[in-house]
Amino acid sequence: MSKDEKINPNEVKNQNNEAKKMNTSANPKKNKDKDLPWWVELLFVQIGLPDKLLIKILKTKKKANDLIKNDKKSLITFLFFIIALAYFFPVIKHAKNKLDCEAVAKNYIIRNKNTIGINKREIKMLSTNFCYGGDEIYEIENSKI
């Protein structure tokens, strides 16, 4: 080999860098060929559901993601409202049941017991006492109709 034919090390490095750049452009194509998600594989490949359904599911998923990104504040407010309703529902239901019990007990006392000389407040007190397990209602005599 003559001195003219010697390879310059800088040229070799440049050629290697160019080759690497060319190879990196091919790598994203390989990354795009990822495996299908497990649920797509199961439902649409193995079971054989129609492709139209997959398209609808993917569109809905994209719309949901866009909605979550754009309307976070309103979604958080809505979620807080639903949680508040779920928290207070048992309390409201218990109060309603107690009021219904008092109304039924009051009607029972008026119809079946001798309520002469007992005012409305005392009847309400007796019905409340009965609903909470009291037995003062049995001290009133039965009416003879």
Round to whole Å and give the CA distance between 28 and 32: 6
Shared-domain flag, residues 80 and 124: yes
CB burial class (10 A; 0-12, 13-18, 19+) of residue 110?
Answer: middle
Range of the domain at 41: 9-70
Shared-domain flag, residues 66 and 13: yes
Cα–Cα nearest to 136, from 112, 109, 110:
109
- Is 0.85 topped by the overall pTM? no
Shared-domain flag, residues 90 and 141: yes
Q: What is the overall mean pLDDT for the chain?
A: 81
Quick one: pLDDT at residue 138? 77
Shared-domain flag, residues 64 and 77: no
| Ordered DSSP codes for 82-96 | HHHHHHHHHHHHHHH
Report phi then psi at 108, rounded to 5: -65, -45
Residue 1 lies in a domain: no
Shared-domain flag, residues 112 and 127: yes
Query: Angle at Cα 120 formed by Cα 115 and Cα 122, nearest 5°?
Result: 75
Residue 82 lies in a domain: yes
| Predicted confidence (pLDDT) per residue in 20-41, tens digit | 555 555 555 555 667 878 888 8
Round to whole Å and give the CA distance between 101 and 127: 8
Residue 47 lies in a domain: yes
Q: Give the residue-averaged pLDDT of 113-121.
A: 83
| Predicted confidence (pLDDT) per residue in 61-109, tens digit | 999 999 889 999 999 999 999 999 999 999 999 999 999 999 999 998 8
More confident site: 14 or 70: 70
| Predicted confidence (pLDDT) per residue in 46-58, tens digit | 898 899 999 999 9
